[in-house]
A and B are shown apart, each in its own frame.
Chain A
Amino acid sequence: EAQVTQNPRYLITVTGKKLTVTCSQNMNHEYMSWYRQDPGLGLRQIYYSMNVEVTDKGDVPEGYKVSRKEKRNFPLILESPSPNQTSLYFCASSLKDRAAYEQYFGPGTRLTVT
């Protein structure tokens, strides 16, 4: 089954404790992206990647890191989480030439930083 998976689905952590949210897709997609969703703000892009070893900032990259060492994986790293990073996070992927046409979303990761 074609899908985007994220782990964990729920995470509660404390300020400053490094964490990684994994994202994996099995559709051989070049394009992958991270969004965060906050009440009243919709979804906003954090980082994106057009291919292996190619990443760039989105609209709200501060406090986040990403890497793209393999085509299927695009982990989101919070090296020193803060309470303002409490949010719902989505990973999405697409074929590079179809990113404007369709993006597949993962199930979301609910992160709480206390």
Chain B
Amino acid sequence: AQTVTQSQPEMSVQEAETVTLSCTYDTSESDYYLFWYKQPPSRQMILVIRQEAYKQQNATENRFSVNFQKAAKSFSLKISDSQLGDAAMYFCAFPRGSGGSNYKLTFGKGTLLTVNP
């Protein structure tokens, strides 16, 4: 069953503008992490930002920030002052544990972000 949902297959933004990518997830755990990964055309998986579920404060990394709503199981990524280099596929992910062993990352299907000059 799909446990991470990215409802926007594609998004576009003008350079220097702000864009928000959506992600919802499903888990019965109370303490976990959430991630946004960026995959540029080079296909490398790059960790953009990480949120700890027990922290109420939203994570921020330079121009990237999240809006984490634990009760709603929502984890959106906001990119401010968009740059051409932000164009990439973005994946929301969280590690599903199984008895404290395999923390496999469960990924959404991705959102392809285009940045227009």
Contacts and interface: CB of A to CB of B under 8 A. Distances in A.
A100 interface: yes
The interface residues of chain B, by DSSP majority, are classed as: loop
A99 interface: yes
Interface string A33-52: 10100001111110010100
Interface residues of B, number: 22
A58 to B, nearest CB: 6
A43 B102 contact: no
Contact of A33 (B44, B104, B108, B110): B104
B36 interface: no
Size bracket of the A interface:
20 to 34
Nearest to A35: B105
B105 A50 contact: no
Given A42-B91, A102-B50, A107 B105 contact: no
Contacts of B93: 43
Contacts of A23: none
A105 interface: yes
Interface of B: 4, 32-33, 42-45, 47, 50, 91, 93, 95, 97, 101-105, 107-110
